[in-house]
Every structure is written in C-alpha cells, then in structure tokens.
Structure 1
C-alpha cells in the first residue's frame, strides 16, 4: 500500500553512494528533494549514483519539461575533460548532425557551492534504462534480433565519435548506454511514484541519503527508444594517439595494457567485449586472479593469448622494453607458463546465447573475431562493422522494437 511517509533507514547502514570505500560525505553535495537549483531546476526524485556523482530527475520550471541533473563531487578531476567533450560534441552536431541522435551532450551547466569547493552540475535530457537493466527488464525479449538493433546503434554512436568528432570515449560499458524514451511518461510515472510512495532514505545530520526507485521505464517495451552513449568524463580528443591508462580493466585493449600509444581503435576492442558480455551474460575474459578477487593483468594477457594466439613481434616491439620484457621474450614467446599459464579458452566454447538455443552462431563469432585483434590497425572501424554480414537487414529506427511486433512470453516489469 502506498504511503506519503518515507521509510527512514538505520543511520549506521551504508547505502547508495556511501557504499564506495572512498566515500567522503562532504565531497558529495547534499541534494534534497524539492531543492530548486539556479531558480530553475526543481529536484523530483533520485535517478542514480556513481563514484563521483549523483543524478536527479528535475523539472525545468522555465520550459516546463523534465531534465536529468548530474551533480559531481567537489574537485572532481574529470570535470574539465567532460565539459570540453560536451562543448566539442555540440559544435560537431551543429554542423554534422547525422548520428548525433545516439550521443548525449549537456544542455546546460552550473555550479553549486559546497563544503570542500564547488560542485559542477550537468543538465541532460532524461533517459530510461541503461543496457544492463534493459537486458534484465526485457527478459526473454532480449533475443538476437534486439541485440542486433542495440549493436547497430552502439556502433553508430562510435562512428559519430570517431569519424565526426575524432574522439575516443575511453569508458565503453553497458552502464554508459541508456535507452531514449519516446515520450515523458516514464518521468511522470517516477514523479508520481516518489510522491505517492517516497523512496526509503537515511538522515545523517542535515544530510539525507536517498535510495532510488531503480531506473525509469515503460510497461510496453515497444515504447523504448534506442541506446544513447553517455558520460564523457574519460574522453580524449585533439590528437591521433595517447599514452595514458583508460578503460574498465577487463575491457582494456592490448595496446593500453602494453603501454603502446592508442587511438580510436581502443574503443573498438572495448565495445566488442562489452557487447559480448551483454549478449552472453558473462565476460569473455575474467582479467582477474584465479579466485576472481582482484584484477590481474598477467592473467588478462594469458587469456588474450588463448583467444588470439601469441602477439606479432612487430606489435610487441612497440611496447617499452621494460614492459614487454617482463612477460615476453625477444621472439614474442610467453615467459610465464608456470605462474600464469595459458588457459583453455575459445570464442566457440564460450558462446552460449545462440548455441544454447540451437541457433547458428557462426556470423556472430566471425563478427567478434574481426574485433579481437592484437594490432589496432587490423580492427575494423565502427563504420566497417556496421556493414558486417551478421548485421545485414537491421533497420535504423528511433525505437528498439518495431511497433507491429507482437510481444509475448515476457516478464517485463516497470522498474
């Protein structure tokens, strides 16, 4: 039964952003529901949180319309990179809009004063489910046909970034792609939900830590739009190659691991592993200790060798001698057979999403084999992958499902 009185959680319980081990209360801005930022943006409900920000559904009192506001921690180190990326994307969109529908940029920015310095805030269009929750919510509907539609739009986003914006995203993961809504019904629903059944929260002095109602969505999956690439805090542009560490650890490209200058092709490697994990519901490579407790770069390289064979010596010799010399000899042979043996691992044995339901997986495996290349220049571009035979016949539209498709045998629920 709904209630207008929120549940107050035990003050000793860590929730939401507090669960990060590096959490410092004074670095997160103490947002409260019904706050109004800049005499314009009224806070309606919490959308989510990350290691360096919280996100809120707000009403723009001037338009009026719904917006999403990302409130960064104070002294957030990636603010300037993220601001520059959005400004660059906006300029590109103004002159070359094709493909911009699958890349999100900010529509406003402002700062809030905090205990440890200013908190930069970005204002965006509100979106719905990220791709992780899309898979969970769609259940049996998340089949090969839907996955292909998602793949096409993910690649369209990268093609826009790489060819139009000349930008590397650097942090491709399913949590950074969100489905666009086709109307504001999910926002209206979330606002009503917060009003009628307020989210549980804890009170810590004058600070309130809210839980969120998970992500907003539709009861009819045919109303979902296509995925949009978000979060450009790790983006790089302005040069052809770079030499800093990027990417989620288990999606890290070989050239990044081996300290070889990298460019846009690193995103292609990254997106291939993200798509594999999204479809197969398990990562292709663990990139961790044998017990899975922590990242292990040596085991990660051993898994790559299992999948692709030994790296070409010409590629290895691009790596600094003190980096490659720890794991490969001058002939490119693996030196760590005892401490980090090459595992039994192959694409064919690891593929279960198609093979497990009696579907032909050869096209999908060929698609993945094109991506999984040691040498960055041998990986196809996003534009080339869009022409892959496995994706033939996929139509580009504004919706995840065709309106005429009958949706049966599903357990779609509103989150």
Structure 2
C-alpha cells in the first residue's frame, strides 16, 4: 500500500486524550500467589506468562489439535507450519507454506467438536468467483480433515491475509481518508455479493475484515520469519513433572503481528473472513452470534424471529462507521439496555411497538423519548458528534501528531448513508447493492 507508513511500536504511541493505544499486549492477571502459572484440570500449565495464546484448558477431547512449528499438515504433508496467525474459540490459524504450489497460505484448524456439516465456509466454494465482489471474500482454497488425540479436525486452507482494517490501521497511512473510504466501498461490494447469493454473513464487523497482502511467495521461509520475527514459544509443563499428555502441545505459540511486514506488503484491498455464523437467508437460525454492539435493534427486542438480511445491513452501517472513523459507533457498551439507549440518542425514539416492550426505557427517557439524567437533562452523544470526533495521536517524546478527522461535506454524506442503513424498519434499510452506489463513495 503506497500510502501506508512503516509500522511503529505501540509503546511509542499515545492518544491525545491520554488513552494509550496498545496493540499487542494485555496485562496478565496477578498470579503471584502461585509458584507457576495456573494449571488446567489436566495438570498442565505454561512456563512463565504469555499474552495472546489460546486457552491451554481447551486441549482436550473435542478441543484444539496440538500443532508444533515445522509440522506438515494435509493428506500428503503438503502444508508446512511456519508461524501462528491467530486463534479463536473454535480454531487455531497457522501460516504455512504450500509445498505443492510454493505459496504461503493460512490453514485454519477447527476444534474437533466442529463437523464438516457445521462449516458454512464450504458453501462459498461453489460460488461464481468471477462475479463482482467475490474478490473481497476469502473463499477456501482447499479442505481436509486431520486425525488427532482430541478427535477429527476439519481444516480450511485460505488465502493469507494481513491485519484488520481497524481500530488503528490508519496510523500507518499518509492520507487515510480516501483509503478508508475505499475499504468501506469494497466491504459493501462483498456484502452485496453474499446477499445476491442468498447468504447472510451473520457476524459482519471489522474484526472479520482484513487487508490483502502483496505476493510473498518469492520469499524464502527464513526471509518471511525475518520480517515477522521468530515465533515466541511458551513451554507446556505438568504438575507431575512428566511430559505433557498427547492431547496438549509441547508449547503454545504467540500470534504474529502482520503489520511487521511493513507498508510494502499491505494492499489497498480488503477481504472478508470467518463465515462460521453465516446462513442461507431462506433458513435463518434461532440465534445470531454477532457481538451486541453490531446487533440490530429488532433482534434485541423481538428475538430470533427477526433475524435475516436486514441484520447484516445494520451491522454494515456499524462497520462503515468504524472503518472510516477507526472507532466503534457503540463503544464499550456491554448492556443491552444501554445499547438501546445509545441507539435512541443517535436515531430517535423507537417505534411504539418496540418502545412499549422495552421495560428499562424509563431509566433513560421520559415517555416522549427525551433523555433524562440523574435529576435533570444532559447533552446526548449524537451521531453528528460521533462523526465530527477528531482522533489525534502523538509520537512519544515529540510534538508531531497524526490526525484522523473528516471534512464537513464528507460528514454530511456519510450521515445520509448511515441514516438510511440505521432505519428502525428492517425492510426500509438500503440494500448492499444500493449502498455501493451512494454519493459518499463518489467524493
């Protein structure tokens, strides 16, 4: 990506409002009362502490498959494990070299309690890859199963992708506004492609939108590791002093930070991942797994009977805001009543059929939908204020700062787009096909 800066250490960056921007680490819990890290129910524990690794407890029957650097995965040992890309509640993801094609790929190894019938990603394989929008979908390249001590694991071979589109990718850019807007339009094209094929993503949010990488295949494995840094391993020990059980690996590997590749290898193109919550629009599930801050109000109030394409469109609105502003619209709200209150503050009073069902409304509003506080009124955080919010980041020890803001005309156009996505009537929301044609993308 030509307009990306070289990455900076998160320790060298602080926000103008005093909020530290920490990308790769969290403070560990206090375990000073133990002479080693907390043990699992199987008597295993990690030597020292390690941030950003999966739960060792989940290496058991039905759980993760123990994988080590240098392992060869696939029916013919085709995929050589080089580094760790990440993990989730139902998978670990590994950087591998495809020895057959000489390409770097991501291999997603599911927990053993996920069957092939539970893999919605496989629905993507039969879709028309030449259609507009398909280039923004991470369609599996290969699929195989893996037998291990914890069961049978389904494995997906996927295109290797870069970092997420938020929350702080803008710091690497020379001129973030136009690029972030481009990412937004590509995101809408991806959703249009899915909806035209009768698919709901079900978990549509920036965490599942990554940047594409320029071709790394000409680099040797050693050269790739020189860019990413050597994998960090935390040894798995046992309270008995014996070797770890076969169900657990000998060590856990910390996930790499793909921003370390530098601007040279980051493209101005996004790709949608993680279709574990996706479903056919004609057969919606009884529940949806998206985090609540991206959840449509009809699902909060009416439940699963209202799940459908319109839920993706509400989440698209949240996602477009977050990509462009690099901060979630509903920020750090974990309570459903507070979330509904924030929605009313942004988009007005709920329809009467929902207003009457919302039992906690009197904690936030009078019956006319006017916000109340502790003994009086206070200024409501509006969509206008959210769009106008300026982010400033200083380099430590320097007066130089990077600023992410939005011109007034762009604010006006984005507000128009978001208002049409955030309508409370699900059937009145703009379709993804209409979103990609909006004037905001024509600036």
TM over 0.5: yes
**Contact 2:53–2:253 at 8 Å: present in 1 too?**
no
State whether residues 146 and 154 of structure 2, in contact with CA within 8 Å, keep that contact through their aligned partners in structure 1.
Answer: yes
User: How has the CA–CA distance of structure 1 residues 109 and 80 changed in structure 2, closer, same or farther, with 3 Å as cutoff?
Assistant: same
Q: d(CA) in 2 for partners of 1:67 and 1:176?
A: 17
Query: Displacement, 1:336?
Result: 10
Q: How does 1:36-115 map to 2 (within 5 A)?
A: 36-37=72-73, 38=75, 39-76=77-114, 80-81=117-118, 83=119, 85-93=120-128, 97-115=131-149
Match of 2:270 among 227, 243, 246: 227
Within 5 A, what are the aligned runs for 1:16-415? 16-18=52-54, 23-26=57-60, 27-37=63-73, 38=75, 39-76=77-114, 80-81=117-118, 83=119, 85-93=120-128, 97-132=131-166, 135-136=169-170, 138-141=172-175, 143-163=176-196, 165-184=197-216, 188=219, 191-194=222-225, 198-204=230-236, 205=244, 206-215=249-258, 218-220=261-263, 224-237=267-280, 239=282, 241-258=284-301, 259=303, 260-286=305-331, 288=333, 295-314=334-353, 316=354, 324=357, 326-327=359-360, 344-351=380-387, 352-353=389-390, 356=405, 359-360=408-409, 361-392=411-442
Structure 1 residue 345, shift from structure 2 partner: 1.9
Tell me how large the CA RMSD over aligned residues is.
3.3
Distance 1:374 1:28, change over 3 A: same
Aligned partners of 2:441 and 2:95: how far apart in 1?
Answer: 35
Normalising by structure 2, report the TM-score: 0.72
**CA distances 1:283-327 after superposition (whole Å, capped 9, x unpaired):** 222363xxxxxx20011111111111112235x39xxx9xx2534
d(CA) in 2 for partners of 1:268, 1:216: 29
- SS of corresponding position for 1:128: strand
Which of the pair is proportionally richer in strand? 2
For 2:29, the equivalent position in structure 1 comes to none
**CA distance in 2 between partners of 1:67 and 1:365 (Å):** 39
Instruction: Mark the CA change 1:372 to 1:332 in structure 2 (over 3 Å): closer, same or farther.
Output: farther
Secondary structure in 2 aligned to 1:255?
helix
Alpha-carbon displacement from aligned partner over 1:165-201 (angstroms, at most 9, x marks no partner): 211101112121122223225x837752537952221
Secondary structure of the corresponding residue to residue 159 of structure 1: helix
Q: Deviations over 1:368-390 (max 9, x none)?
A: 21211111112101111111111
Deviations 1:331-370 (A, max 9, x none): 986699689x997121111122599465532112212212
In the alignment, structure 1 segments of 5+ residues that lack a partner are 1-8, 289-294, 394-415
Write the distance in 2 (CA, Å) between the matches of 1:223 and 1:328.
46
CA distance in 2, matches of 1:307, 1:385: 20
Runs of 5+ consecutive residues of structure 2 not aligned to the other structure: 1-36, 38-45, 237-243, 391-402
- Offset, 1:235: 0.3
Compare 124-133 and 259-268 and name the one that shifted more.
Answer: 124-133
Following the alignment from structure 1 to structure 2, what is the Cα–Cα distance between the partners of residues 384 and 342? Answer: 37
CA offsets 1:15-55 (integer angstroms, 9 cap, x no match):
3233x5x9523322221111111221111111222222111
